[in-house]
Amino acid sequence: MNRKIKALCAGCLSLMLLLSGCGGKGTGDQNASAVKPVEDYVSHKVNATLHQVSVTESPRPFVVNGASDYKLIVAEGAANETAADYTQRYVERVTGCRLEYAEASQFDTGGKFIVFNDADLFKKAGLTMPAVDLDSTGYYIKTSGDNVFLMTQQDFGARYAVIAFLKHVLGMQVYGQDTFVYTKDGTTLPDMEITEKPDIGNILLGNWRDTFSADALYLMGYSDYKTQFLSIQNQDNHTSLLYLPVETYYQEHPAWFSAQKDQLCYTAGGDAEELDAMTSEAARVMLENIMANPNIHAGQFTMADTWTSCQCQACNDSAKQYGTRSAAVIQFTNMLSRKIQSGLQKYADENGTEKRDFTLYLMAYHKFVEPPVVKNSDGTYTPNDPSLVCDEDVGVIYAPIEAKYIHNFYEQENVDSAEMMKAWSTLSSKMYYWLYQTNYAGYLYPFDSWDSDVENLRFCYENKVDIVMIQGQHNMACSTGFTSLKVYTDSLAAMDLSLSYQDMVNDFFQNYYGAAAAPMQQYFEELQSWMRYLEQAYPVEYTGDIYNLLVGENYWPREMLLHWQDLIDQAYEALNEGKNTDPNYEIYMNHVKMESIFLRYELITSHSGIYSAEQILQMKQSFKADCIALGITHEYEQRELTEVYRDWGIS
Ligand SMILES: [Zn+2]
């Protein structure tokens, strides 16, 4: 069933619920049968990627009665050491046993060691790496006798190896930063042979970035955004004018800047000598920064964040010749990258080290968003000139901010953005897709991108994704609108794009809400169905872009809100039965409370007429107290809730 028909069915059923007068306190059970959840999700599953997992349970003892014969042996390197540290800490958390470290010299093929990336010991055990390219993020886990080896080819793989090890030995799954679930007790160590590589090995967290715990980030497979890109003056985006500031260079080199001095002139006014000097100086400054940050392997030399571009004769000629202003940016960035690469090679030669990898990113955005390509009759793209193909070490950041994220990139509504992604990915094999998953005009409203997020990751994979971020509510610590579900499914889907969205959703509700799973999943499914109905009922008003806000009775009828509030109350009741026995009681209660925030906000702001002044005041005060306790701080991206409380007279 295509999505439109499916949405209509769900909508009809939702409408039935309203017209039949259901809803409100105490009628939750009747409503449960009235709304049919969205079931037939659009799916472009990515299969046949590298997920060879053979795990067989074994009686081999691992930790018994808090003690273990196993010791950790770790090859040199920060990634290996971090991986071993996580293994040690999480085995201890579950079993109470802190595994000791051992020296490589203590290794014995008949012993009990967990070995991190020691190629010599691996060889000594008579093992060889699988004949596949594990790239920077893949790993190989192999039991040999009682020993276990966690092997990788490059740094990023160590983290994914640990995630897999803890999954298969402890049954660990991380559903959120406060929700770590273990289905095994670590008494035994299974036989394992796993050759695996995450489908997207570099996904950045889009929500709650400043407060998310380092452990959850690592164990959910999110990259640490703080170490992804070089920064200059605490900024990693829009850096070109920070590396080449107007104040420092304009007087001597006016040709480097646009007439308004708000962007670079990427052709240096058509003067080859000036262009050479400009790229040399940019390379010199960037190399200083690169050398000062030895663990960072990517950086941006990216346009200023304005809707402008240089309009000099040479820039205009280039745009005319190649069809777009991005052509000059690509040629400039290739030139800059070659100088940086040769600087890195020189350093390696002088110091007898290996040349460091470094990817330089440009940004396809605003005036520079159109790629210099022609579309062929078979739907593929060809560069307008060989000089417009990005070097191997040059990546492209593309942020389709105009896309309708309630739809995915396979759908007609996003055909322009999808074509742009295809086109850019013919010019660079290192695409950084910066997508979106929230409503920037209203953080407190749900945004129907739960399943399209997962589909979009699949689309990115099919278009040479190197890095992806689905930006959401980055500047809060917690969000309503089932954002936590997205944080979970996005991380899991990136690792394995063949996973079923519906299975992930079911698993999430069971584990994130404990005894409150049933009413919370019912609320989620009805909410999602309702939003699909809104697409059909209000095709003009509901565009689904990231600033499109629907507020008020037409979109959120009071009866519907009260019915959902009733499901929230049922969730609290279910949890209260375990108040004195469930160690996760407080955590689950907070998860339910997070999802009450949207309902309460909409009732207060759009339906206040049904309440007495005293009731409204009380509702506002408890809303404020809960938001503060949960860490929900913003009404929308640029407005803090403190301003709302002031407007409400409760600051
Ligand atoms: Zn120019």
Cα–ligand 1 centroid distance for 245 (angstroms): 16
Q: How many CB atoms lie within 10 A of CB 234?
A: 6
Mean of the pLDDT values across residues 442-452? 97
One-letter amino acid at 167 equals K
Contact, 456 vs 470, CB < 8 A?
yes
Mean of the pLDDT values across residues 567-574? 98
Cα–ligand 1 centroid distance for 288 (angstroms): 27
- Does pLDDT of 369 surpass 90? yes
Cα–ligand 1 centroid distance for 373 (angstroms): 21
Cα–ligand 1 centroid distance for 395 (angstroms): 22
Contact, 627 vs 640, CB < 8 A?
no
Q: How far apart are CA 397 and CA 300, in angstroms?
A: 9
Residue 43 pLDDT class (50, 70, 90 cuts):
confident
Q: How far apart are CA 551 and CA 548, in angstroms?
A: 10
- Express as a percent the part of the chain with pLDDT over 70: 94
Cα–ligand 1 centroid distance for 416 (angstroms): 28
pLDDT for the residue 26: 36
Cα–ligand 1 centroid distance for 333 (angstroms): 15
One-letter amino acid at 533 equals Y
pLDDT for the residue 226: 77
List Cβ neighbours of 131 (8 Å cut-off, separation of 6 or more).
none
One-letter amino acid at 45 equals K
Contact, 509 vs 498, CB < 8 A?
no
Give the tens place of pLDDT for each residue, 133-180: 999 899 999 999 999 999 999 888 999 999 999 999 999 999 999 999
Q: How far apart are CA 537 and CA 520, in angstroms?
A: 25
The token pair that represents 122 in the structure block: 């691996």
Cα–ligand 1 centroid distance for 459 (angstroms): 35
β-pairing, 179-182 vs 172-176, is antiparallel
Cα–ligand 1 centroid distance for 268 (angstroms): 6
Cα–ligand 1 centroid distance for 318 (angstroms): 9
Cα–ligand 1 centroid distance for 524 (angstroms): 52
Mean of the pLDDT values across residues 388-408? 96
Cα–ligand 1 centroid distance for 275 (angstroms): 11
Cα–ligand 1 centroid distance for 337 (angstroms): 20
Report the candidate in 147, 152, 146 with the shortest Cα–Cα distance to residue 82. 152
Residue 10 pLDDT class (50, 70, 90 cuts):
very low
Cα–ligand 1 centroid distance for 270 (angstroms): 7
Give the tens place of pLDDT for each residue, 476-516: 999 999 999 999 999 999 999 999 999 999 999 999 999 99
Cα–ligand 1 centroid distance for 287 (angstroms): 25
Element (H, E) at 363: strand 359-364
List Cβ neighbours of 616 (8 Å cut-off, separation of 6 or more).
604, 608
Contact, 521 vs 234, CB < 8 A?
no
Cα–ligand 1 centroid distance for 266 (angstroms): 6
Cα–ligand 1 centroid distance for 303 (angstroms): 13
Cα–ligand 1 centroid distance for 458 (angstroms): 38
Say which residue the tokens 């950086």 belong to: 299
Cα–ligand 1 centroid distance for 302 (angstroms): 16
Contact, 191 vs 52, CB < 8 A?
no
Cα–ligand 1 centroid distance for 255 (angstroms): 7
The chain-wide mean pLDDT, for the chain, equals 93
Angle at which helices 517-537 and 585-606 pack, to 10 degrees?
A: 30
Say which residue the tokens 């093992």 belong to: 127
Cα–ligand 1 centroid distance for 374 (angstroms): 24
Cα–ligand 1 centroid distance for 331 (angstroms): 13
Cα–ligand 1 centroid distance for 301 (angstroms): 17
Cα–ligand 1 centroid distance for 369 (angstroms): 17
Give the tens place of pLDDT for each residue, 15-32: 445 544 443 333 333 343
Residue 40 pLDDT class (50, 70, 90 cuts):
low
Report the candidate in 610, 551, 567 with the shortest Cα–Cα distance to residue 17. 567
pLDDT for the residue 155: 82
Cα–ligand 1 centroid distance for 320 (angstroms): 13
Q: What is the 3-state secondary structure (H, E, C) of 398-432?
A: ECCCCCCCCCCCCCHHHHHHHHHHHHHCCCCCCEE
- Express as a percent the part of the chain with pLDDT over 90: 90
Contact, 550 vs 556, CB < 8 A?
yes
Cα–ligand 1 centroid distance for 264 (angstroms): 7
What the chain holds in terms of domains, given with CATH numbers, is: 3-43+508-610 (no CATH), 51-198 (3.30.379.10), 199-226+399-499 (no CATH), 228-394 (no CATH)
Give the tens place of pLDDT for each residue, 226-280: 788 999 999 999 999 999 999 999 999 999 999 999 999 999 999 999 999 999 9
Cα–ligand 1 centroid distance for 263 (angstroms): 9
The token pair that represents 382 in the structure block: 């060809």
The token pair that represents 234 in the structure block: 């605490």
Mean of the pLDDT values across residues 212-238? 92
Cα–ligand 1 centroid distance for 387 (angstroms): 18
Can you say whether residue 376 is alpha, beta or left, with left for phi > 0 and alpha for psi between -120 and 50 degrees? beta
pLDDT for the residue 228: 87
pLDDT for the residue 39: 65
Mean of the pLDDT values across residues 610-623? 96
Residue 1 pLDDT class (50, 70, 90 cuts):
very low
Would you call 584 helix, strand, or coil by DSSP? Answer: coil
Cα–ligand 1 centroid distance for 364 (angstroms): 17
Query: Is the Cα torsion angle 128, 132, 133, 136 positive or negative in sign?
Result: negative
Cα–ligand 1 centroid distance for 435 (angstroms): 30
Cα–ligand 1 centroid distance for 262 (angstroms): 11
One-letter amino acid at 121 equals L
Give the tens place of pLDDT for each residue, 309-352: 999 999 999 999 999 999 999 999 999 999 999 999 999 999 99
Cα–ligand 1 centroid distance for 9 (angstroms): 55
Q: How far apart are CA 486 and CA 206, in angstroms?
A: 10
pLDDT for the residue 154: 86
